[in-house]
Amino acid sequence: MNQRVGLHILFWFGYLLFQALIEFAWLNSPASKTPVVEIGWMAFLGELTQLPIKAALSYFIIYLANNLASKIRNPAVSIIIGLCAFVVAVVLQRLLIVHLVLPDIYHEKTSPDFIFQWKRMISTFLDMIFVVGIVVSIKQFRLSQRSKEKEKSLIKEKLEAELKFLRTQTNPHFLFNTLNNIYALARKKSDETADVVLKLSKLLRFMLYESKKNSITLSEELRVLSDYIELEKIRYNERLTITFSRSIDDETQPIAPLILLPFVENAFKHGASETRFNSFIYIDVQLQKRQLNFTIENSTEDEGGVIVENIGLSNVRRQLELMYPEHRLDIKACDKIFKVNLTINLQRHEAV
C-alpha cells in the first residue's frame, strides 16, 4: 500500500469517526433506554453504510473538476453534470437511509414517504455538500502546494543552469589570462616556463574537479589564491609588490568555489599588467564568526572615474547574488588605486 492510498484511508476513517460522534450525540438522548455502547455502535454502522456514496460523489467531483471539465468546452455542461451527480447521490442516500439504516440499524419504523420529504432531502444534500467541500478543499490545497514546489524546482533548475554558465565563462577566462602569461615567458625563452606550466596544471586540476562542487573549504579557496599569486609572481618579478594577509577563525568554513579568484585575476590583469612602474597588490581576508571580509587593492594608471566591469567581475557579482543573499560588494577607483571590498554572511548560503 503506497503512501497516497494510506492517506486517503486515514482521511475517510477520520471523517467516519467524526460523523459517528455527531450521530451518537444526536441519538443518545436522556430519555433513551438503549445502552450507550449500543448507541455508539449503531451510529458507527449507520455512518459506515452511507460512506461509500459520499466517497464516490467526492471522487467524481474531483475527477470532474480536474479531468473531465478540461475536455468539456462549455462550463455550463460541467456544472449541470455536477448537479446531476449531487441529485443522484442524494436520492441514493435517501433510499439507503429509509430502506436499510433506519429499519435494520436504528430499528425505527419507516415509510417510503420519508425518501422525498423536502426537509430530509435538504439535510442529506447539505451533508453531501459538507464532505465534498472538505475533499475538494484538501485536493486544491495539495494541487497548490504541488504547483509551488514545481515552480520552486523550475526556478532552482534555472538558477543552477545560470550558475553553471557563469562558471564556464569564468574558467576559460582564467585559462586565457594564464596562457597569455605562459606565452610571454615562452617568447622570452625563460627557464621558468616549465614551472609555470606545472603550477597551471595544478590549478586546472582544481578547475576540472573541485570547482564543480557546491562548496569547498575556505582553506582550499585560499590555497587556490596562493597558487595563482605564485604563478603571477614569476611573470612580474620585483616590479610588483604583493601583500597577502589573512585572519581566519575557522578554515574549514564552506564557501562557494572560485568566488574570490576573479577579484585577484582582475588585480593582475587590469592593475599590475597595465602599470608601467612599480605596482602593488594588497589582499586581506578575514573571517570571524562566519562573517567573511575580503579586501583587495591594486595600483592602476587610471585617475578614477566610471568603473567598467569586465566579464570576470560581472560574473562573480551575479554568482554572489545567486548564492549569498546577505553580501555587500563595493568597488571603487580613485587616486590610481582600484579597491574591492566584499562582505559575505557565509551562514546564509543558498543551495543553488
Q: pLDDT tens digits for 71-129?
A: 666 777 778 888 899 999 999 999 999 889 888 888 888 887 778 888 888 989 999 99
Q: According to the model, what pLDDT value does residue 348 have?
A: 76
| pTM score, whole prediction | 0.55
Q: Which residue in 291, 173, 190 sits closest to 235, CA to CA?
A: 190
328 - beta bridge partners? 343
**Cell numbers given for 232:** 603571477
Query: From CA 259, how far away is CA 75, in angstroms rounded?
Result: 55
pLDDT of residue 160 exceeding 70: no
Structural contact between residues 321 and 259, judged by C-beta atoms closer than 8 angstroms: no
C-alpha separations of 231 from 70, 225, 251, 263, 328 in Å: 64, 10, 23, 15, 29
Q: Is 119 exposed, middle or buried (0-12, 13-18, 19+ CB in 10 A)?
A: exposed
Query: From CA 348, how far away is CA 320, in angstroms rounded?
Result: 11
**Cell numbers given for 163:** 550558475
Q: Which residue in 351, 312, 106 sits closest to 213, CA to CA?
A: 351
Q: pLDDT tens digits for 310-343?
A: 666 777 888 888 888 889 999 888 878 889 999 9
Domains of the chain: residue spans and CATH: 3-116 (no CATH), 152-345 (3.30.565.10)
Q: pLDDT tens digits for 210-260?
A: 667 778 899 988 988 888 888 777 767 677 888 999 999 999 999 988 889
Q: According to the model, what pLDDT value does residue 169 have?
A: 55
